[in-house]
Structure 1
Amino acid sequence: MGKGQLLQLILLHTAWEMGSGQLHYTVPEESQHGTFVGRIAQDLGLEVGELLPRMFRVESQGDGDYFKVNEQNGILFVNSRVDREELCGKSPLCSIHLEVIVDKPLSIFHVEVEVKDINDNAPIFSASKQSLSVAESMLPSTRFPLKAASDADIGSNAQLKYKLNSTDYFVVEEKTNDQHSISLVLVLNKPLDREKISVHNVLLTATDAGHPELTGTVHLEITVMDANDNAPVFNQSVYRVKLLENVTDGTLVIQPTAVDLDEGTNKEISYSFSNSVSSNLFTIHSDTGEIRVKGKVDFEDTSVYNIEIEAKDKGSPPLSGHCTILIEILDINDNAPEMSLKPMLVPVPEDSSPGVVVALISIIDRDSGVNGQVSCSLLPTGLPFKLVSTFKNYYSLVLAEPVDREQVAEFSLVVLAKDQGAPSLSASSSLVVPISDVNDNAPAFAQPSYTVFVKENNPPGAHIFTMSASDPDMAENALISYWIDEKLWPLSSYISVHSESGKVYALQPLDYEELKLLEFQVSAKDAGLPSLCSNVTVQVFVVDENDNAPTLTGPEEGSILLVVPAMAGYMVGKIHALDADSGYNAWLRYELHELTSGPWRVGLYSGEIITTRALDEAEGSSSQNLLVLVKDHGKPPRSVTTTLSVSLVVNTQVVHVDAGLPRMGGSPRPLVDKVNVYLIIAICSVSSLFLLAIILYVAQRCQCQPKQAIVYGPGTATLVCASEVGSWSYSNRHSHILAGVSGEAGAKNDLMVFSPNIPVFSENGEVGNMKELAPDSSVQVSH
């Protein structure tokens, strides 16, 4: 190793690359094992004592274990021989990349060791001997091409200079063309004389510019020939040709022409390649000099070809002329873009924010110029995605707009890459982007509220209604469960809802006389995270059945009625009865039993006992029994009977009787004439009340606020019922109402109006999908 190399080794430095944090060292090639490279631990800011505990190690990115680190002192040294020519060839920059890894905590450092070239390769000629034939008639300055030497080193170590020894007839020159290609020529320095020297043996030496200088030699054997003293001459020393890539085999490239001033066979010329570089891609016709394409010419492989052509005559000795063919390959658009698409966020959650990266796209086009310029687009248009250029030919597929899985569950898109060549070439890649569900939809009922009619005395556990809510989400986000707050007593003792099917059950028989309305909220909740919920109000109206017979309130069974002789129409007494039912079921009528005889009749709806003719004293000899039947209008009707005794008072004394009896000797009451008047007044009153109730009910439903709680309390319901003959009766009785009304815990008065057309119910007590009810229905739902 010379002093210069030793100085370079001693002054070996390290530097951080700007912006990358990479440690850089240099070392000469062919350095011996153990040669110091750098204090890597110190340069990385690591203590020597922590190298072993932190598992300090060096990994090479390529083959070969060229460097190692002494873990005792943190010094990077040469481990094995590094041959720059073997590692990097003729590349001007030769580097070995190392990765330094330490644990606890994990850190990774990048180290670049640049291998410097040394002059370790001597110039080499392709053959140890070159033979030339030179006519003695050649004039000075005639030039003969030689095969130059090659040097595997680079830079000044590969810069060669040539010299000849032991001759004054020839000199050697180097010629550089505009493509920086060096040609070596032998120049005739003075005229030759075959008679003096027929063969010149010359040693050609090639010396490089390294330190120390290395040399290579070749023996030149120059034979001086007589006669043929004119060599072929090309009309140009350099021919320039432009050729499109991918031309077909046999395409004519150029036809260089040489001229020989001799005659006969000395004038006949044969053409050939003087170098072997182009023989694989081109052919030359030996007689005409036509150069044609033989293989595939690809611009992406080589853009310029430098071909040396020799024209040799057939004289003896043969003479030759030379020229250079420079073929420039023109690029055509023969490479379509190559696309790589890497999904990053697939599927895309439907709550993703615009700007999230869905996929990364990289595009490569091996052509050059406009043929290699690529534009990228997204098809079809109108999708909620867009392409964002992050670097040359690098794109990100990002979400441009919010997406909703319930509207579109997945998107199929095509990324199209198109170059600017003519004709344009393109590549495409398809991507299906599914949208994943999030729980963003609460269950929804088809109606804001439901009204259900249930006949009283239902069997325990009867199914009275089915709730149904829908959720457009999927999987567990659409799995709905139904529930009622069971803590709200006493609602839980009356009603239950199945959590999965939404079926509403009556847990016990309902009694209209005790409970007329159940109003509660059913909640539907999905299984998403977080769970979403919605409520619906359900009103269950208990429909009365004729399960109570009329009861008599006066007079008592067997009571005696006293009557004085009077004319027809005289009121003897009045029967009072009540029915715990409502409507038709509580509408009573009074009749005399068929076994009863005498001048009596009873008011059909008033219960008043009236004489049908004048009585005389002869009929007062004995009492008469009246059997009165009190019957309601239910189906089937229920009834009760009572027996009263009527006695005729023969004297004229005025007798005052108890409640319900007429005065003795009083004038007759024309009750029969007043019945029609009463009926007209009743019908008008009830019709007005009915119309008012309808208006109040509609106004209440329009102004109804969401109910927050369920309360329990008593209330009085007024039932207004029309008779078959146009007369009316009223039944006011104590009732209980369970209702979900926020802020009302006290009593509540309700006016409940029923038309004579009683709803029809089914036998099984179900209402199917809110459709029109079939005859004999037991449950009616009002929408």
Structure 2
Amino acid sequence: MAYWYRALEMEFSWASGQESPRLLLPWLLLSALWAAGRGQLRYAVPEEAQHGTFVGRLAQDLGLELAELVPRLFRVASKERGELLEVNVQNGILFVNARVDREELCGRSAECSLHLEVIVDRPLRVFHVEVEVEDINDNPPVFSRPEQTLFILESRVPESRFPVEGASDLDVGANADLRYKLSPTEYFDLDVKRNDEETNLLELVLKKSLDREEIQEHRLLLVAIDGGKPELTGTVQLLINVLDANDNAPLFEKPTYNVRLLENTPRETLVIKLNASDADEGINKEIVYSFSNLVLDEVKSKFIINSTSGEIKVKGELDYEDRKLYEIYIDAADRSPFPLTGHCKVIVKLVDVNDNAPAMAITSLFSPVQEDAPVGTVIALVSVSDRDAGANGQVSCSLPPHLPFKLASTFRNYYSLVLDSALDREATAGYQVVVTARDGGSPPRWATASVWVEVADVNDNAPVFAQAEYTVSVRENNAPGAHICTVSARDADAQENARVSYALVERRVGERALSSLVSVHAQSGRVHALQPLDHEELALLQFQVSARDAGAPARGSNASLQLFVLDENDNAPALLGPAGGGARSHALARSAGAGHVLTKVRALDADSGYNAWLAYELQPAAAGARSPFRVGLYTGEISTTRALDEADAPRQRLVVLVRDHGEPALTATATLLVSLVDGAPSPKLSARASAGRVGAEASPLDVNASLMVAICAVSGLLVLTLLLWGALRCCGAARSEGACAPGKPVLVCSSAVGSWSSCRQRRPGLCSADGPPKADLMAFSPSLPQGPTAADNAKMEELKKLSLGNVTLEKGEVHINKFDIGEKLKIALKEL
């Protein structure tokens, strides 16, 4: 124990710079205490302690290293008289910095403490320290006035009682526990009682009858002694004037009246109506009510009494926070020349109403907050207070819903604003956090304080293209450097994390590098074709463009581009068969009737769409001659328009013009020499005509046999092609980068109106390095002129059954979808 005394002496001397009296050592031994509950650090210090008085080893009790105090910005903050206590940041000792007066801090409150916030940064930590200020007996009892005057009738009987105002002591506890002594006298005794409010009720008790003729005035000394050590005293002179008159004094119904009154009671409100009675008659029975001379001026400023009715009303503004209780001494005197007076006491207790809103302060704001900050990060400190009492002074804090924050209670009326869920700057760049403090009154009162919490960006978002896949087109034979399209990607991050640059994802296109065909501008995303493109060589080019931000580490994403090379009409129709190499001779019997099919002109166009849609025209014959032949506009079939007669020339020269639908159109011509002969048609021509029309000239057995052979051949080739295509597609996934993924078929032509037509269908799934495979689509609208006959429709139905679903009927049209399985198959299909 001697060691601790000596250590405390050295600590006090070091902190204050002077020798400490040993009388303070017991106080110092009680100065460092840990409170139960939330880990609050609690110390005690006596009031009136001098500058430098040791309070406690703050840093050591908090578990902080002395070497960390300065680098971590160790400091003490207090919202109530923060200059009273100070901490030495070199050794972490808390000491008294200025004179501490408990009565000035807390008045007569039973508890008096200084609440400190100990804050250290890097990382931020907050400790709550409570320093209890202990009362010492430094205030003597005090009477409100140095002399009290009482008027007592000489006729008053022994045991009569007369109220006397007691003393007050600013100290608390035992130091404010008063006892009284009255100077010795044979006429009076002092009776002290405790009422329900734990205050002393002093009364002078008459022991012996008074005689005004013997003694007109009595002077007594009343001494008040407190319970402190050492004791302190206060005195008041009692001047008793003996009156000569009345037999009976007015009497109140009871000596003490208790009234409860709301603090916001308006002026002129009735507090109580007193009623005193007097057994005398006449003028001695008439009573006048008044405040006793014991009533202070402060009380008179708050209340007023009607001298006739005894009504006490509110005169001034009442405030529970200023004063909670008023003791009003009332005298009731009769109107005798020598009046007798009755006494009572009205105790007015103010009831607190919720007339004070909470006060709130937000400190130590940590902003901006990284959007990847962990849950539980402390954002700010919140402190609240309310001057009201009871439930009216109990404050709770809340936040608006749907915020990623919460309030954590760290100590009484202290909260921490902490992160409750993950942040996303791209969704919300900042939050206006409004903290609402609400008391427990009815109705409650509240106050708000707002703070802006900014969310700092981290590179957690990759650039996102406006479209995951771009489908664009360019006409073939484009100029080098032609602008194709512009890709755009947006990064939801900010600043450098959102700065996007573009680049091609390099791959091989056949034997060439992708970068030799197209390029992309790094900043603008503009895609250019570096050289002219050829639709017949490369109808579809698929590649990827990457977008990468400038964050660390960088993030990126890709977008796919499908570049369709649109066809230009740069290929003229090409005739097939003997007609392509010169004139073709045919023999026709003169007996052939109208509608007899002579032959069929066949042609193909290397272009696509309308550019490959061919129409056939028969050039006009010599002037004045009407040709007995015609050609199908889209079929190329040459047939007779009427029965031949002797007037027709034996040799007919037919010139068929084949024209595509391009702009401008390209043409080719086929020349046919027809010899008219007598007799029946040749078997070959009859069979061909029968195959085209299935007329009455051919037998049904021959027609069905030809049809079945053609259907079986087509179906077999179609099944074989499907098998080969499925195998190539399965192997496509294992190919090099130059292979293209299968895609949705794209129709790049229009059907003819009311006729058979041939056009192309592009399937982007095939590799564009070798040019996309082609498939023909044959369509017919039976509702329009020049359509096939009912027999042809029956053929299509049979073909649909045998071709495994590749023949479809849509809106009255028959569609036969087939792959490029060779020129012979095309000719066979056109034969059908």
Global fold match (TM > 0.5): yes
- Which residue does the alignment assign to 1:286? 307
- Which residue does the alignment assign to 1:487? 507
| In structure 1, distance between residues paired with 2:85 and 2:146 | 39
What is the correspondence of 1:694-705 to structure 2 with a 5 Å cutoff?
A: none
**1:271 maps to which of 289, 309, 329:** 289
1:138 matched to 2:159: no
Q: Structure 1: any 5+ residue segments left out of the alignment? A: 562-566, 570-575, 596-600, 613-625, 645-666, 713-718, 758-783
Taking a change above 3 Å as real, the CA distance of residues 505 and 70 of structure 1, as seen in their structure-2 partners, is closer
| In structure 1, distance between residues paired with 2:466 and 2:486 | 11
CA contact (8 A) 1:341 1:429 kept: no
Q: What is the CA deviation profile of residues 45-100 of structure 1, one whole-angstrom value per residue up to 9, with x for unaligned ones?
A: 67889989998876666437555678898776655543333333222333345566
1:510 matched to 2:534: yes
- The residue type paired with residue 304 of structure 2 is T
- The residue type paired with residue 118 of structure 1 is I
CA contact (8 A) 1:497 1:504 kept: yes
Taking a change above 3 Å as real, the CA distance of residues 521 and 349 of structure 1, as seen in their structure-2 partners, is farther
- Which residue does the alignment assign to 1:681? 691
Q: Secondary structure at the match of 2:158?
A: coil
CA positional deviation for 1:219: 1.8
- The residue type paired with residue 691 of structure 2 is I
Taking a change above 3 Å as real, the CA distance of residues 386 and 140 of structure 1, as seen in their structure-2 partners, is farther
Q: Secondary structure at the match of 2:198?
A: coil
CA positional deviation for 1:254: 2.2
- Which residue does the alignment assign to 2:254? 236
CA contact (8 A) 1:67 1:79 kept: yes
| In structure 2, distance between residues paired with 1:411 and 1:78 | 41
| In structure 2, distance between residues paired with 1:548 and 1:19 | 98
| In structure 2, distance between residues paired with 1:223 and 1:175 | 25
CA positional deviation for 1:256: 0.9
Q: What is the CA deviation profile of residues 172-222 of structure 1, one whole-angstrom value per residue up to 9, with x for unaligned ones?
A: 222322122322222211111222222212222222222222222222221
Q: Secondary structure at the match of 1:194?
A: coil
Q: What is the CA deviation profile of residues 711-760 of structure 1, one whole-angstrom value per residue up to 9, with x for unaligned ones?
A: 49xxxxxx9999999999x99xxx9x996547x99898644346699xxx
- Which residue does the alignment assign to 1:521? 542
What is the correspondence of 1:196-345 to structure 2 with a 5 Å cutoff?
A: 196-241=214-259, 243=261, 246-274=264-292, 275-276=295-296, 278-296=299-317, 305-327=326-348
Taking a change above 3 Å as real, the CA distance of residues 80 and 354 of structure 1, as seen in their structure-2 partners, is closer
| In structure 1, distance between residues paired with 2:63 and 2:376 | 40
TM-score, normalised to structure 2's length? 0.58
Bigger Cα displacement from structure 2, 106-115 vs 474-483:
474-483
| In structure 2, distance between residues paired with 1:522 and 1:66 | 76
CA contact (8 A) 1:129 1:219 kept: yes
Q: Secondary structure at the match of 1:202?
A: strand
TM-score, normalised to structure 1's length? 0.61
CA positional deviation for 1:140: 0.9
Taking a change above 3 Å as real, the CA distance of residues 109 and 207 of structure 1, as seen in their structure-2 partners, is same
| In structure 2, distance between residues paired with 1:431 and 1:691 | 81
Bigger Cα displacement from structure 2, 526-535 vs 79-88:
526-535
- Which residue does the alignment assign to 1:128? 146
Q: Secondary structure at the match of 1:124?
A: coil
| In structure 1, distance between residues paired with 2:152 and 2:220 | 14
1:154 matched to 2:175: no
CA contact (8 A) 2:398 2:436 kept: yes
| In structure 2, distance between residues paired with 1:104 and 1:350 | 19
Bigger Cα displacement from structure 2, 546-555 vs 209-218:
546-555
What is the correspondence of 1:403-552 to structure 2 with a 5 Å cutoff?
A: 458-460=477-479, 485=505, 487-489=507-509, 492=514, 507-508=531-532, 510=534, 514-515=536-537, 518-521=539-542, 531=556, 533=558, 535=560, 540=565, 542=567, 545-547=570-572
- Which residue does the alignment assign to 2:743? none
CA contact (8 A) 2:358 2:439 kept: no
CA contact (8 A) 2:115 2:131 kept: yes
Taking a change above 3 Å as real, the CA distance of residues 489 and 671 of structure 1, as seen in their structure-2 partners, is farther
Q: What is the CA deviation profile of residues 142-185 of structure 1, one whole-angstrom value per residue up to 9, with x for unaligned ones?
A: 11122212222222222222222242111122232212232222
| In structure 2, distance between residues paired with 1:363 and 1:38 | 27
Q: What is the CA deviation profile of residues 224-247 of structure 1, one whole-angstrom value per residue up to 9, with x for unaligned ones?
A: 221224322112223344556655
| In structure 1, distance between residues paired with 2:715 and 2:399 | 66
Bigger Cα displacement from structure 2, 227-236 vs 106-115:
106-115
CA contact (8 A) 1:41 1:48 kept: yes
Q: What is the CA deviation profile of residues 402-448 of structure 1, one whole-angstrom value per residue up to 9, with x for unaligned ones?
A: 99999x999999999999999x77989999999999969965869x9
Q: What is the CA deviation profile of residues 510-542 of structure 1, one whole-angstrom value per residue up to 9, with x for unaligned ones?
A: 36xx53x62343658777885555546565564
- The residue type paired with residue 331 of structure 2 is E
CA positional deviation for 1:25: 3.9
Bigger Cα displacement from structure 2, 124-133 vs 686-695:
686-695
| In structure 1, distance between residues paired with 2:123 and 2:404 | 40
| In structure 1, distance between residues paired with 2:265 and 2:326 | 15
1:116 matched to 2:134: yes
| In structure 1, distance between residues paired with 2:451 and 2:81 | 41
Taking a change above 3 Å as real, the CA distance of residues 325 and 577 of structure 1, as seen in their structure-2 partners, is closer
Q: RMSD value over aligned CA atoms?
A: 7.3
| In structure 1, distance between residues paired with 2:95 and 2:580 | 130
Bigger Cα displacement from structure 2, 108-117 vs 194-203:
108-117
- Which residue does the alignment assign to 2:47? 29
Taking a change above 3 Å as real, the CA distance of residues 262 and 161 of structure 1, as seen in their structure-2 partners, is same
CA positional deviation for 1:285: 0.4
| In structure 2, distance between residues paired with 1:458 and 1:227 | 138
| In structure 1, distance between residues paired with 2:98 and 2:359 | 42
Taking a change above 3 Å as real, the CA distance of residues 102 and 543 of structure 1, as seen in their structure-2 partners, is closer
Q: Secondary structure at the match of 1:195?
A: coil
Q: Secondary structure at the match of 1:223?
A: strand
- The residue type paired with residue 339 of structure 2 is P
Taking a change above 3 Å as real, the CA distance of residues 210 and 426 of structure 1, as seen in their structure-2 partners, is closer
Q: Secondary structure at the match of 1:134?
A: strand
Pairs aligned (count)? 673
Q: Secondary structure at the match of 2:509?
A: coil
| In structure 2, distance between residues paired with 1:341 and 1:40 | 25
What is the correspondence of 1:592-671 to structure 2 with a 5 Å cutoff?
A: 632-634=658-660, 638=667
- The residue type paired with residue 286 of structure 1 is S
Taking a change above 3 Å as real, the CA distance of residues 544 and 106 of structure 1, as seen in their structure-2 partners, is closer
CA positional deviation for 1:40: 5.8
- The residue type paired with residue 93 of structure 1 is E
- Which residue does the alignment assign to 1:651? none
Larger Rg: 1
Taking a change above 3 Å as real, the CA distance of residues 106 and 430 of structure 1, as seen in their structure-2 partners, is closer
1:191 matched to 2:209: yes
Taking a change above 3 Å as real, the CA distance of residues 303 and 5 of structure 1, as seen in their structure-2 partners, is same
CA positional deviation for 1:257: 0.9
| In structure 2, distance between residues paired with 1:192 and 1:481 | 113
- Which residue does the alignment assign to 1:617? none
Taking a change above 3 Å as real, the CA distance of residues 738 and 593 of structure 1, as seen in their structure-2 partners, is same
